[in-house]
Amino acid sequence: MSENSKKFHYEVSNQNSSPEISIYGYIGQWEAVDYKGFQNAFRNILATSKEMTVRIHSGGGSVYEGLAIYDLMRSSDSNITVIVEGMAASMASIIALGGDVVKMTENAFFMMHAPKIGCSGSKEELDSAIKQLAAAETRLREIYKERIGVADSVVDEWFKPNQDTWLDSVTCKDLKICDEVITPTKKRLANALKNIAKKTPEQIFAAYDGDVPKEIKNQIHEKMKNRIIAMLAVAGIAHTLTATSEDEDFEKVLKGALDKSNRCDTAEASLKNFQTTNARILIDKAAEEGKFPPTEKEQWLKDAMENPELTARALSRMTGKPDLNASVNRDAHNIETGKHDLLKGRGDWSFDKWQTEDPKGLSKMEEEAPEDFKKLFNAKFN
Mean pLDDT, residues 239-258: 84
Query: Which pLDDT score is estimated for 83?
Result: 96
Query: Which pLDDT score is estimated for 139?
Result: 93
Structure confidence at residue 329 as a pLDDT band (50, 70, 90): very low
Query: Which pLDDT score is estimated for 179?
Result: 94
333 included as an active-site residue: no
Higher-pLDDT residue of 244 and 143 is 143
As a whole number of angstroms, the distance between CA 302 and CA 52 comes to 49
The model's pLDDT over 365-377, given as tens digits with 9 standing for 90+, comes to 877 888 888 888 7
Residue 259 amino acid letter: D
Query: Which pLDDT score is estimated for 366?
Result: 78
Question: Which of 10-19, 115-124, 252-261 is predicted least confidently?
Answer: 10-19
Query: Which pLDDT score is estimated for 191?
Result: 60
Query: Which pLDDT score is estimated for 332?
Result: 52
The model's pLDDT over 158-195, given as tens digits with 9 standing for 90+, comes to 999 889 999 999 999 999 999 999 987 766 655 655 66
On the question of pLDDT at 252 being above 80, the answer is yes
As a whole number of angstroms, the distance between CA 270 and CA 283 comes to 20
3-state SS, residue 110: strand
Structure confidence at residue 11 as a pLDDT band (50, 70, 90): low
Structure confidence at residue 138 as a pLDDT band (50, 70, 90): very high
Catalytic residue among 22, 58, 113, 169, which? 113
Higher-pLDDT residue of 159 and 382 is 159
> Residue 162 CB: number of other CB atoms within 10 A?
7
> For the chain, what's the residue count?
382
Angle formed at CA 82 by CA 76 and CA 88, multiple of 5 degrees: 115
90 included as an active-site residue: yes
As a whole number of angstroms, the distance between CA 110 and CA 94 comes to 10
Structure confidence at residue 201 as a pLDDT band (50, 70, 90): low
Query: Which pLDDT score is estimated for 202?
Result: 54
Taking all residues of the chain, what is their mean pLDDT, rounded to a whole number? 81
3-state SS, residue 381: helix
Query: Which pLDDT score is estimated for 378?
Result: 77
Catalytic residue among 90, 93, 169, 340, which? 90
CA-CA distances (angstroms) from residue 252 to 247, 255, 257, 282, 345?
A: 9, 5, 9, 45, 68
As a whole number of angstroms, the distance between CA 57 and CA 90 comes to 11
As a whole number of angstroms, the distance between CA 150 and CA 140 comes to 13
Mean pLDDT, residues 118-139: 89
